Chains A and B, each alone.
Chain A
């Protein structure tokens, strides 16, 4: 019933040619991978697809910012010295694309922070935020606390006034929304990861082949994503 690795060793006619082409494609990709835009794109994709917040790419964001600023100045110079319309507009598009990636990356992270602020501020995830994000998160938590305090909590009887616990008898913080780590994600491994254990229980093993596409539970590949060995798509 469980067919394994269909297609991995198929011998269809014309497959050789296809593979030849895809190898070329990979070459292009690996050259491009070195640009910060490629790295930012990867960070953006992973951040969008991962249920929890990932480590802030501080260096990368810094470099992207600098490049964007530099190009903005260049484009301004172009405009001032009357550079050809076509060239200016092409640079402007390059700029817009980089800006979009950067903004979207930062924005996805802010959305996650807003959604899971209490969880993030009480766990190791806190260390994954940038300084500005920490500031944002603190202000979010403060605003939310103040709001709940004023509108509801202060009017509740003693023992029911916590934001984190339903009542004083709750053993854990049972009112804190957490990301669902057992959700399924689409991923592609960059190199062969090899046999990989999928579940805590241990008898579910998958052989992650390079560049193949898998749908797995995020929880099981969390470590690979954090270690940069696998990309979410």
Chain B
């Protein structure tokens, strides 16, 4: 698994997922703020981080609900004007979470919804990142998910470094750091070699 140390993967697994306990669980009352005893009753709705929900789901201890960022309401909003939707506030790891969760909740329409969302928002990212002055990004950038932000920044960064190169001075001067200082005096030409 190449992703073990991937910080985004780790953070994504922290996303709270609404889970419904299928069994009564003793000794884990802290998971349920509404619980008065030290146990969670069967049928209780509790927000668990994805990593925990996933494990418990595998053991059939909880049922996982579709996160709100994939609800019908969000889908309608995305369909209306994908580029305008503030996905980051809904879930910064929107796509990654979607990929991870659709087999768990058994909702196969999430996959196509992710693709639709990305495709629709991609064009806006493309045009904004390549043409818009940096000043417009403070308004636009906070709406993007982590993956979209990285895409956006990749474009901005490479254009910025190209511009820097174009106006910058000569790179050749850098070489003098590597080279050694020489103070040769003029003389006749050598039989070089």
A–B in direct contact per CB < 8 Å:
yes
A: residues with CB less than 8 A from B are 74-75, 78-79, 81-85, 87-89, 91-93, 95-97, 99-100, 166, 172, 174-180
Contact A87–B178 (Cβ < 8 Å):
no
In chain B, what residue has the closest Cβ to A175?
A: B4
Cβ of A180: which chain B residues have Cβ within 8 Å of it?
A: 2
Q: Given A100-B175, A100-B178, is A87 in contact with B189 using a C-beta cutoff of 8 Å?
A: yes
B192 in contact (CB, < 8 A): yes
Name the distance in Å between A12's Cβ and chain B's nearest Cβ. 27
Contact A79–B190 (Cβ < 8 Å):
no
Contact A175–B175 (Cβ < 8 Å):
no
Q: Given A174-B1, A178-B2, is A81 in contact with B175 using a C-beta cutoff of 8 Å?
A: no
What secondary structure prevails in chain B residues at the interface with A?
loop
In chain A, what residue has the closest Cβ to B2?
A: A178
Name the distance in Å between A183's Cβ and chain B's nearest Cβ. 11
Cβ of A100: which chain B residues have Cβ within 8 Å of it?
A: 175, 178
Contact indicator per residue, chain B 165-193, by CB within 8 Å of chain A (1) or not (0):
00000001001001110111111111011
State the CA gap A91–B192 with chains docked (Å). Answer: 9
Name the distance in Å between B109's Cβ and chain A's nearest Cβ. 24
Instruction: Identify 17 residue pairs between A and B in the complex whose beta-carbon atoms are under 8 Å apart, listed by A's number.
Output: A82-B185, A82-B186, A84-B184, A84-B190, A85-B186, A87-B189, A87-B190, A88-B182, A88-B184, A92-B182, A93-B172, A93-B175, A95-B179, A96-B175, A174-B1, A176-B1, A177-B4
Contact B182–A79 (Cβ < 8 Å):
yes
State the CA gap A45–B171 with chains docked (Å). Answer: 19
Name the distance in Å between B133's Cβ and chain A's nearest Cβ. 28
Interface contacts beyond A84-B184, A87-B192, A92-B180: sample of 16 additional A-B pairs, CB < 8 Å, sorted by A: A78-B184, A79-B183, A79-B184, A81-B187, A84-B188, A84-B190, A85-B184, A85-B185, A92-B182, A96-B179, A97-B175, A172-B1, A174-B1, A175-B5, A176-B2, A179-B2
Given A79, A84, A92, A174, which contacts B189 in the complex, CB threshold below 8 Å?
A84
State the CA gap A81–B189 with chains docked (Å). Answer: 10
Cβ of B192: which chain A residues have Cβ within 8 Å of it?
A: 74, 87, 91
Contact A177–B187 (Cβ < 8 Å):
no
Which residues in chain B, 135-173, are within 8 Å of chain A measured between CB atoms? 172
Contact B179–A175 (Cβ < 8 Å):
no
Cβ of A84: which chain B residues have Cβ within 8 Å of it?
A: 184, 186-190
Contact B179–A82 (Cβ < 8 Å):
no
Name the distance in Å between A114's Cβ and chain B's nearest Cβ. 13
State the CA gap A79–B181 with chains docked (Å). Answer: 11
Cβ of B179: which chain A residues have Cβ within 8 Å of it?
A: 92-93, 95-96
State the CA gap A130–B175 with chains docked (Å). Answer: 27
State the CA gap A89–B172 with chains docked (Å). Answer: 12
In chain B, what residue has the closest Cβ to A90?
A: B192
Name the distance in Å between B79's Cβ and chain A's nearest Cβ. 23
State the CA gap A179–B184 with chains docked (Å). Answer: 48
Contact B186–A174 (Cβ < 8 Å):
no
State the CA gap A84–B175 with chains docked (Å). Answer: 20
Contact B187–A83 (Cβ < 8 Å):
yes
In chain B, what residue has the closest Cβ to A88?
A: B184
Cβ of B184: which chain A residues have Cβ within 8 Å of it?
A: 78-79, 82-85, 88
State the CA gap A79–B182 with chains docked (Å). Answer: 7
Name the distance in Å between A107's Cβ and chain B's nearest Cβ. 13
State the CA gap A137–B120 with chains docked (Å). Answer: 45
